[in-house]
């Protein structure tokens, strides 16, 4: 070997050693910072971390206390409290507070959390956006890639007895999920009424993003004792090398021997030790073979007569001397070479099989009987006997609701397969189902049911099953054999009005005449509910997502989960405020007094949507245009009506019609309910406009009696048989408030 060849080999060896050294931490790296164990690829100094994404700053902020670990970036110091090899960090994020005393606001903070230059994201599977308070709402803003994100929820209650510890369903506490790939968040807590009615026990509103497993709501949280920070989960991954297929050929590939690469996120990966190994997959020789046969591990699956023999990365099961067969627990087992032993083993085996068969049969019968009793319990608990009694009284007067069994609806929805979901709302999930003896149906599976409201829920089923109006989604029946009731409705084929008027591809295809007809049909339904039904009904959640359309664009009003039955001699009801932001009656919001005029206001908002094609609330618009109602009223006042109407629906022939509808909408949107028209007046005016053929309202004398007859000719009212009408004001499902910042459900 020549001198030059020897020198070349020495250089290559040194380069190889340098590459290996650069890919591994120094031997004297800091292993702990305070109480946090620092695990590679994370480190606290040069040569101890994989790249700058994994640098942990370990600082002594107070010499009397242990040092504190931080993720350091351009916008903030993020305190780290835990690192896992499963790709997760636990960090501390700040709580947004909004507090009052008897005279003024005493605290108002906004929580801002940016990942900066880090490629890490907030975990959408581990975190929940949470709002706490009895007069509170909160919202979260952020970015997922280049897209802006905003959402929020409402939390309300009247006294501490309203809340349930551990439950964040809207009473004192509410929660929503966050999207994936979120790298920055702004969290803000707000109050509806400065906590005036709940100040003694709840002076503050709180909003924060928290790791769900680290949070348990308690009524004590309402008293203003929350900490300034909460634990939040961050997802990390190795990035910059592509996914596993590309990264494995990269010189700086992070997965070491006896490990596997697993894709993570859009363009990253994680390393995990192979089965049979444990340790740190990012370190050379970090994944060590485990002894499956040791008592400490206990992971081996050998027959009781077989011997476990540990091997590199695995193990094998060997039968002892004098036995043969397969030592695996799923195999034939180890059998003796002596015949008597075989016969004894065979007899014991047969006896065991017979005992197992008899035990299985007894268990199956016991389980079946228990299931029958459980169904009977749920049936009675959900008011099944009361419903049967109510339906039997009415069976001779009109079509009644059908009581379905649980197996029938499971089969119809393929055991409630997620692929059958056609909608989600504040009260439950809606599935498309196929019954053997009918057309497709919509099956609504409730989230929860308030046991104190069972009688009222049954009353709703019996009343709604008898509403025979062509523009109301018909309730076909229910199932009471499950923990929460299931409601079965007719299936409407063409989606919601919201989807059609806010979809840029669909909106121009709906002419003004069709929109006016949809408005008139919806108004006719609300007029029928308010004044023609056996017991007046206030819908309480009128919005474009609750107006379904069939293939002929015929309106079908749906979702009576928030509706109220109103006794005949009562004009207003005191209730907990419930509805959707943007559509909610401001008078009802401030007084909690529900009247028929609350539906009139919400319908006025739908009219404005139909005319403008704009969403009710949108934070993407300029500040003066974010609220569609305020923007519409100000434009109407300034004479700019036709500048805000949707392109493509205005022409010279319908301008006068649209001006009349705009004036009608403005009357519906008056702040004082007593100044608004009734739904009967609104329906008559819209029907009159439909009948006009390019003539003004003043010249066309619409016959009022004829209009009233038109509104009721398709309605069908059922007599109860005993001459009585139900007058119980109720809520069919437990109250929830659903915040829809973009106008959808």
Summarize the annotated binding site as residue ranges: 445
Number of helices (H) and strands (E), helices first, in the chain?
Answer: 15, 38
In the residue annotation, 620 being an active-site residue is answered as no
Nearest C-alpha neighbor of 651 from the set 508, 512, 520, 515: 512
Alpha carbon 221 to its chain centroid, in Å, reads: 23
Are residues 646 and 612 in contact, defined by beta-carbon separation less than 8 angstroms?
A: yes
The one-character DSSP state at 473 is P
Please state, as a whole number, how many other Cβ atoms lie within 10 Å of the Cβ of residue 9. 11
Are residues 281 and 272 in contact, defined by beta-carbon separation less than 8 angstroms?
A: yes
Angle at the Cα of 311 from the Cα atoms of 309 and 312, rounded to 5 degrees: 165
CA distances from residue 119 to 114, 456, 467, 695 in whole angstroms, order as listed: 11, 52, 56, 64
- Helices 679-691 and 704-712: angle between axes, nearest 10 degrees: 110
Are residues 616 and 743 in contact, defined by beta-carbon separation less than 8 angstroms?
A: yes
- Helices 655-668 and 596-612: angle between axes, nearest 10 degrees: 150
Segment holding 267, helix H or strand E: none
The one-character DSSP state at 315 is E
Report d(CA 270, CA 265) in Å as an integer. 10
* 235, 541, 599, 735: the active-site residue: 541
Are residues 544 and 498 in contact, defined by beta-carbon separation less than 8 angstroms?
A: yes
Binding site per annotation, positions for ATP? 445
Nearest C-alpha neighbor of 650 from the set 499, 521, 516: 516
Are residues 557 and 715 in contact, defined by beta-carbon separation less than 8 angstroms?
A: no
DSSP helix/strand/coil, 616: coil
For residue 739, the cross-strand partners are none
Are residues 147 and 206 in contact, defined by beta-carbon separation less than 8 angstroms?
A: no
- Helices 512-527 and 655-668: angle between axes, nearest 10 degrees: 30
Active site residues: 541
């Amino acid at each position: 070997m020549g001198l030059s060849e020897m020198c070349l080999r020495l250089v290559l060896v040194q380069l190889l050693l340098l590459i290996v050294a650069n890919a591994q931490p120094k031997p004297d790296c800091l292993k702990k910072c305070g109480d946090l164990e620092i695990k590679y690829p994370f480190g606290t100094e040069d040569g101890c971390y994989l790249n700058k994404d994994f640098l942990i700053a370990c600082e002594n902020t107070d010499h009397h206390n242990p040092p504190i670990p931080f993720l350091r970036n351009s916008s903030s110091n993020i305190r780290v409290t835990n690192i896992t090899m499963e790709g997760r960090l636990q960090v501390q994020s700040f709580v947004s507070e909004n507090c009052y005393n008897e005279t003024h606001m005493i605290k108002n903070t906004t929580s801002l959390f940016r990942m900066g230059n880090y490629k890490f994201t907030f975990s959408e599977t581990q975190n929940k956006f949470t709002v706490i308070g009895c007069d509170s709402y909160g919202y979260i803003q952020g970015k997922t890639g280049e897209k802006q994100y905003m959402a929020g929820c409402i939390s309300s209650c009247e006294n501490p007895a309203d809340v349930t510890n551990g439950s964040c369903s809207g009473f004192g506490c509410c929660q929503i999920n966050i999207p994936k790939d979120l790298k920055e968040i702004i969290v803000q807590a707000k109050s509806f009424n400065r906590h005036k009615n709940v100040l003694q026990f709840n002076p503050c509103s709180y909003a924060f993003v928290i790791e769900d497993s680290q949070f348990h709501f308690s009524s004590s949280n309402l008293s203003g004792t929350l900490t300034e920070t909460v634990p939040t989960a961050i997802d990390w991954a190795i990035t910059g090398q592509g996914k596993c297929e590309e990264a494995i050929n990269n010189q700086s590939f992070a997965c070491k021997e006896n490990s596997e690469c697993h894709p993570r996120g859009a363009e990253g990966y994680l390393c995990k030790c192979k089965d049979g190994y444990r340790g740190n997959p990012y370190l050379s020789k970090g994944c060590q073979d485990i002894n499956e046969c040791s008592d400490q591990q206990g992971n081996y699956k050998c027959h009781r007569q077989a011997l476990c023999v540990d091997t590199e990365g695995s193990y094998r099961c060997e039968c002892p001397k004098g036995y043969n067969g397969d030592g695996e627990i799923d195999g034939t087992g180890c059998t003796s070479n002596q015949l008597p032993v075989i016969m004894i083993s065979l007899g014991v085996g047969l006896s065991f099989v017979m005992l197992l068969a008899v035990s299985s049969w007894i268990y199956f019968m016991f389980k079946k009987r228990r299931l029958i009793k459980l169904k009977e319990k749920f049936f009675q608990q959900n008011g099944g006997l009361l419903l049967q009694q109510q339906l039997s009284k009415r069976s001779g007067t009109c079509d009644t609701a059908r009581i379905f069994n649980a197996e029938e609806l499971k089969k119809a929805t393929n055991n409630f397969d997620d692929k059958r979901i056609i909608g989600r709302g504040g009260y439950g999930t809606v599935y498309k189902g196929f019954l053997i003896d009918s057309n497709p149906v919509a099956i609504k599976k409730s989230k929860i049911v308030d046991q104190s409201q069972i009688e009222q829920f049954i009353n709703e089923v019996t009343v709604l099953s008898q509403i025979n109006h062509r523009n109301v989604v018909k309730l076909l029946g229910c199932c009471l054999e499950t923990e929460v009731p299931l409601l079965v409705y007719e299936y409407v084929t063409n989606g919601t009005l919201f989807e059609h008027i806010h979809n840029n591809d669909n909106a121009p295809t709906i002419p003004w005449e069709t929109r006016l007809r949809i408005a008139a049909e919806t108004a006719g339904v609300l007029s029928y509910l308010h004044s023609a039904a056996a017991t007046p009904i206030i819908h309480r959640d009128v919005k474009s997502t609750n107006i379904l359309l069939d293939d002929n664009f015929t309106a079908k009003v749906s979702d009576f989960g928030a509706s109220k039955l109103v006794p005949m001699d009562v004009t207003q009801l005191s209730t907990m405020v419930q509805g959707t932001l943007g559509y909610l009656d401001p008078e009802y919001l401030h007084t909690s007094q529900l009247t028929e005029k609350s539906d009139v206001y919400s319908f006025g908002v739908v009219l404005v949507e139909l005319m403008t094609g704009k969403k009710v609330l949108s934070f993407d618009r300029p500040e003066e245009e974010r609220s569609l109602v305020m923007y519409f009223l100000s434009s109407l006042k300034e004479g700019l009506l036709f500048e805000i109407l949707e392109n493509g629906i205005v022409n010279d022939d319908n301008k006068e019609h649209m001006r009349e509808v705009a004036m009608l909408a403005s009357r519906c949107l008056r702040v004082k309910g007593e100044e608004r028209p009734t739904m009967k007046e609104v329906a008559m005016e819209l029907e009159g406009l439909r009948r006009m053929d390019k003539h003004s309202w003043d010249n066309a004398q619409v016959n009022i009696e004829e209009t009233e007859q038109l509104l009721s000719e398709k309605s069908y009212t059922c007599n109860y048989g005993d001459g009585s009408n139900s007058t119980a004001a109720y809520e069919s499902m437990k109250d929830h408030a659903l915040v829809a910042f973009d106008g959808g459900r």
